């Protein structure tokens, strides 16, 4: 814990932590030592972790990196983090993320952008660590913590993992409790770990997962020993390679990495099969209707009355307006406007309902594949390596949205997906591959992921 606390101090330039909690960390570490000495310590005893600032932590400021939450200090602990503490883990502090987890570059945080510890060869340009869990990925990659919590609504665990050569898994929807996590799009949000290896990710997920009566969408299925899946043979597994993910104009190095990944799995005894997921091209537009719609509804609670920021006003309407105009950043305001529009009378059927129907078709594509005996699907994790801070999405937000092209389908279908480091681009930057699994078969992803890693 001490070593990590001093590493955090030296790496403040990355802006990965928005709050350091050294006193709490040391006392948790001492407690872990005491439990180890007595015997019966948890599986994560003494392991120092960073916590994305979307997870409510009792007595420790939780902001979702939005001005509107101001100095909100929860009086309760999220289920996921309380399970980590139950198992002995230590909290080093709270990690930066895109405001309300909306973004793909960790540039929309009210605390400013996060830097990626990786650099292009021969260049000093600071690159993004991906988003929205950029703080989690950067901190793990820079060895500031042994692992981190993260959340993924459309790719926010997997894309930052791919940009930083770390491992990130978004489990099946319902695997981890969403209780105590600031809501973005409730039908898509899932918590998961970002870690240094598939083994570490497996150990963290085991503590994070599990049924919670406080989240009605959490599923009551026993949590397996994910670590046992590491090193397990993948012989005879059928891996689908979806032809619709072969995009026009895809960089040759991404294609090459994808084929290499397939070759490694084949060498390990898996069978590679070309498959079709015909509705893939509708996933991104449908996601950018469903996610803002749910966000506009979830964010209605930030009204200047219940929590956080409250601006001066003459009456209640003005209070809402002033608080929300001042408290939300540009990207969040854009999402609220899009979401409100697609849910409004006259547009609901044309946009929201349609997007939900498309979502069903996307889910069916995967179900058809799995029904044919496919165990997992292999795709690139991102369409490019990390880019420079401020390089993308400035004039055109859609340019930023396109980053999620390979990841959103997984959230739309509620499936588990893992990103594992697989290679480097011509400038020496990490690239990741994604494996998509059957519902509640995260173990398969750990076994396959470890082969690639």
Check whether the bond before 219 is cis (ω within 30° of 0): no
User: 48 or 339: whose CB is closer to ligand GLN?
Assistant: 339
User: Under the criterion CB under 6 A, does residue 132 sit at the interface with ligand GLN?
Assistant: yes
Query: What residues contact 312, with CB distance under 8 A and at least 6 apart?
Result: 322
Q: Which of 66, 82, 156, 296 is catalytic?
A: 156
Closest by Cα among 443, 274, 278 to 372: 274
CA distance 418 to 167: 7
Q: Which of 155, 174, 417, 439 binds ligand GLN (CB under 6 A)?
A: 155
User: Under the criterion CB under 6 A, does residue 154 sit at the interface with ligand GLN?
Assistant: yes
Residue 104 designated active-site: no
- Mark 274-313 with x for binding to ligand GLN (rule: CB under 6 A) and - for no binding: -----------------x----------------------
CA distance 366 to 359: 11
DSSP 171-193: --TTSB--TTB--S-TTT-EEEE
Q: How far is the CB of 228 from ligand GLN (least distance, A)?
A: 29
User: 103 or 430: whose CB is closer to ligand GLN?
Assistant: 103
User: Under the criterion CB under 6 A, does residue 200 sit at the interface with ligand GLN?
Assistant: no
Closest by Cα among 117, 116, 120 to 107: 116
Q: CA geometry: angle at 407 spanning 406 and 410, to 5°?
A: 115
**70-104 burial: b if 16+ Cβ within 10 Å, else e:** eebebeebbbbbbbbbebbbbbbbbbbbbbbbbbb
Residue 156 designated active-site: yes
Q: Which of 109, 132, 133, 384 is catalytic?
A: 132
CB 128 within 8 A of CB 107: yes
Q: How far is the CB of 15 from ligand GLN (least distance, A)?
A: 18
User: Under the criterion CB under 6 A, does residue 172 sit at the interface with ligand GLN?
Assistant: no
User: 154 or 261: whose CB is closer to ligand GLN?
Assistant: 154
CA distance 16 to 189: 22
User: Under the criterion CB under 6 A, does residue 177 sit at the interface with ligand GLN?
Assistant: no
User: 205 or 374: whose CB is closer to ligand GLN?
Assistant: 205
Binding footprint of ligand GLN, residue count (CB under 6 A): 13
- Mark 84-113 with x for binding to ligand GLN (rule: CB under 6 A) and - for no binding: -----------------xxxx---------
CA distance 358 to 270: 31
Q: Which of 87, 99, 107, 152 binds ligand GLN (CB under 6 A)?
A: 152
Interface with ligand GLN by CB under 6 A: which residues? 101-104, 132, 152-156, 184, 291, 404
Residues forming the active site: 132, 156
């Amino acid at each position: 814990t001490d070593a990590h606390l001093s590493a955090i101090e030296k790496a403040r330039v990355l802006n990965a932590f928005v709050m350091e909690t050294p006193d709490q960390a040391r006392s948790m570490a001492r407690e872990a030592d005491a439990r180890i000495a007595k015997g019966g310590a948890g599986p994560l005893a003494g392991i120092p972790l960073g916590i994305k600032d979307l997870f409510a932590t009792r007595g420790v400021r939780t902001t979702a990196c939005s001005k509107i939450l101001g100095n909100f200090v929860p009086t309760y602990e999220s289920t996921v983090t309380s399970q980590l503490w139950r198992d002995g883990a230590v909290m080093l502090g709270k990690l930066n993320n895109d405001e309300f987890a909306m973004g793909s570059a960790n540039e929309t945080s009210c605390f400013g952008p996060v830097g990626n510890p990786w650099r292009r060869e021969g260049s000093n340009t600071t690159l993004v660590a991906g988003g929205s869990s950029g703080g989690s990925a950067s901190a793990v990659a820079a060895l500031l913590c042994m692992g981190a919590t993260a959340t993924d609504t459309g790719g926010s665990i997997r894309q930052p993992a791919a940009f930083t050569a770390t491992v990130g898994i978004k489990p099946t929807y319902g695997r981890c409790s969403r209780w105590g996590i600031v809501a973005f799009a409730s039908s898509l949000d899932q918590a998961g770990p970002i870690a240094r290896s598939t083994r570490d990710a497996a150990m963290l997920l085991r503590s994070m997962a599990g049924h919670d009566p406080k989240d009605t969408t959490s599923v009551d299925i026993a949590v397996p020993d994910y670590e046992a899946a590491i090193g397990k043979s993948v012989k005879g597994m059928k891996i689908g390679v979806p032809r619709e993910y072969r995009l026009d104009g895809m960089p040759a190095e991404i294609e090459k990495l994808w084929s290499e990944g397939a070759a490694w799995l084949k060498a390990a005894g898996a069978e590679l099969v070309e498959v079709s997921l015909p509705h893939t091209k509708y996933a991104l537009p449908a996601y950018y209707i469903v996610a803002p719609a749910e966000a506009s509804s979830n964010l209605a609670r930030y009204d200047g009355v219940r929590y956080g920021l409250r601006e001066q006003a003459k009456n209640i309407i003005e209070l809402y307006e002033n608080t929300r105009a001042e408290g939300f950043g540009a990207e969040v305001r854009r999402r609220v406007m899009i979401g409100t529009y697609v849910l409004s009378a006259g547009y609901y059927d044309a946009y929201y309902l349609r997007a939900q129907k498309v979502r069903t078709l996307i889910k069916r594509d995967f179900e058809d594949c799995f029904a044919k005996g496919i165990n997992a699907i292999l795709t690139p994790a991102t369409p490019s390596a990390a880019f420079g801070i401020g390089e993308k999405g400035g004039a055109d937000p859609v340019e930023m949205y396109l980053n999620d092209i390979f990841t959103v389908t997984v959230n739309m279908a509620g499936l588990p997906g893992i990103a594992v480091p697989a290679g480097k681009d011509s400038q020496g930057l990490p690239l990741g591959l994604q494996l998509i699994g059957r519902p509640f078969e995260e173990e398969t992803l750990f076994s396959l992921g470890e082969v690639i890693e």
